[in-house]
């Protein structure tokens, strides 16, 4: 695959995401009855389609690694990254939050909006705290490695190597590799947590808003997964992983989304069964959990999107326009 082909694939995914987001109202026939659905009124077909969509999104890690290997153009990746940030903002503010607020109001009346807002706030704070932990541990590991290297002069290093011999140098290299790889493992954990949220978002979209909006959510997730997986692959390589190891662990992390989708439908099925019993608490739980999870995921999406905007210090005004356009297109899709 040439560099032009890689760029074309990247832009095609972005355009497909935006076109999917602008699907006309007539496309709602036969699958997008999210507004008319009662809570829990999903089918086995919805679960199968959601799981398949999550599996396709998980393959984005392989596409990202391939693009990284062939050296895709930086400007194409910048376009994709900007569109992904906008799609995340538009999906959170134009699709997930309105759907969660509507379901919360239907379940709890006037108090429902406040409950959904609390869940969104929890999502924002949880993802922000995860980001703080990741940054703190990475900074601590980098400081340890840097301090160790600064304290040794070349003569001291040669003397240390001669005194310890080959076995000592081998142990030192293994210890250094483990220390450097700590940030890579932590990145995998954070990426897996994010992918888990993506899987829940896709499952909730199919279960609560129908197939059309479910596929739109999957496309949006795919659009922001591609640049994220590219960055994760680079982090793993810099942390000491080989190409094969980085590809394998990145793919395993992406598969968490598939497990999260299946687990979400299992939980929804259990809640549906519990709501059929005489327990009022079970019925209330069956109504509350879907929109609480959706609101929580919206908060997580907002945190990830604004974090990406904050880290992009070199972002131009035109880049911000791309973010805004993508957000508006996805939000318009949610409004329809």
What's the CA gap between 84 and 254, in Å, rounded? Answer: 17
Residue 3 belongs to some domain of the structure: no
3-state secondary structure of 40: coil
Please give the backbone phi and psi of residue 214, each rounded to the nearest 5 degrees, phi first. -65, -45
The predicted pLDDT at position 118 comes to 93
21 lies in some domain: no
Is 240 part of a structural domain of the chain?
yes
Q: What domain count does the chain have?
A: 1
C-beta of residue 56 within 8 angstroms of C-beta of residue 202 = no
Q: What's residue 322's pLDDT?
A: 64
Provide long-range contacts, Cβ within 8 A and 24+ apart, for 306-315.
307/131, 308/81, 308/85, 309/85, 312/81, 315/82
**pLDDT of 10:** 42
| Sign of the CA dihedral running 65, 66, 70, 74 | negative
pTM of the model: 0.58
Q: Specify if 96 maps to a domain.
A: yes
Give the three-state DSSP class for 285: helix
Collapsing DSSP to helix, strand or coil, 30 comes out as coil
Domain membership flag for residue 107: yes
The pLDDT profile of the chain, 336 residues, written as one tens digit per residue, is 444 444 444 444 444 444 344 443 333 444 444 444 544 567 888 888 888 988 888 887 677 666 665 665 555 556 666 666 777 777 788 777 888 888 888 888 888 889 999 999 998 998 888 778 767 776 776 665 555 444 455 555 455 555 555 555 555 555 544 444 555 666 677 677 778 878 888 888 888 778 888 888 888 777 767 666 766 676 677 667 777 777 788 788 888 889 999 998 888 887 777 666 656 666 677 678 778 877 887 888 788 778 777 766 555 665 666 666 666 665 655 555
CA-to-CA distance for 210 and 206, rounded, in angstroms?
5
Domain membership of residue 183 (yes or no) is yes
Q: Is residue 310 a part of any domain in this protein?
A: yes
Whether residue 74 lies inside any domain: the answer is yes
Q: Which domain holds residue 191?
A: 48-335
pLDDT at 294: 79
């Amino acid at each position: 695959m040439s560099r032009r082909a890689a760029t074309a694939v990247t832009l095609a995914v972005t355009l497909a995401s935006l076109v999917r987001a602008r699907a006309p109202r007539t496309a709602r026939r036969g699958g997008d009855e999210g507004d008319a659905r009662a809570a829990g009124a999903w089918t086995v077909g919805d679960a199968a389609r959601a799981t398949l969509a999550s599996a396709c999104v998980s393959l984005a890690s392989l596409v990202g690694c391939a693009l990284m290997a062939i050296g895709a153009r930086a400007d194409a990746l910048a376009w994709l990254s900007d569109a992904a940030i906008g799609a995340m903002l538009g999906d959170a503010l134009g699709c997930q939050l309105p759907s969660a607020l509507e379901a919360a109001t239907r379940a709890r009346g006037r108090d429902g909006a406040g409950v959904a807002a609390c869940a969104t706030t929890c999502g924002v704070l949880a993802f922000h705290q995860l980001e703080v932990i990741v940054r703190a541990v990475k900074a601590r590991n980098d400081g340890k490695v840097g301090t160790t290297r600064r304290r040794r002069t070349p003569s001291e290093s040669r003397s240390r190597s001669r005194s310890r011999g080959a076995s000592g140098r081998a142990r030192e290299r293994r210890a250094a590799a483990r220390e450097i790889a700590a940030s890579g493992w932590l990145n995998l954990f954070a990426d897996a947590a994010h992918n888990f949220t993506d899987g829940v978002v896709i499952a909730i979209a199919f279960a609560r808003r129908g197939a059309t909006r479910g596929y739109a959510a999957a496309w949006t997730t795919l659009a922001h997964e591609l640049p994220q997986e590219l960055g994760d692959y680079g982090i793993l390589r810099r942390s000491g992983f080989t190409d094969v190891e980085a590809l394998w662990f990145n793919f395993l992390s992406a598969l968490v989304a598939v497990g999260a989708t299946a687990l979400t439908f299992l939980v929804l099925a259990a809640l549906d069964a519990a709501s059929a019993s005489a327990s009022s608490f079970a019925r209330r739980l069956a109504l509350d959990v879907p929109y609480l999870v959706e609101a929580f995921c919206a908060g997580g999406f907002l945190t990830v999107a604004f974090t990406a905007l904050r880290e992009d210090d070199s972002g131009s005004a035109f880049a911000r326009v791309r973010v805004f356009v993508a957000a508006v297109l996805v939000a318009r899709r949610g409004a329809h």
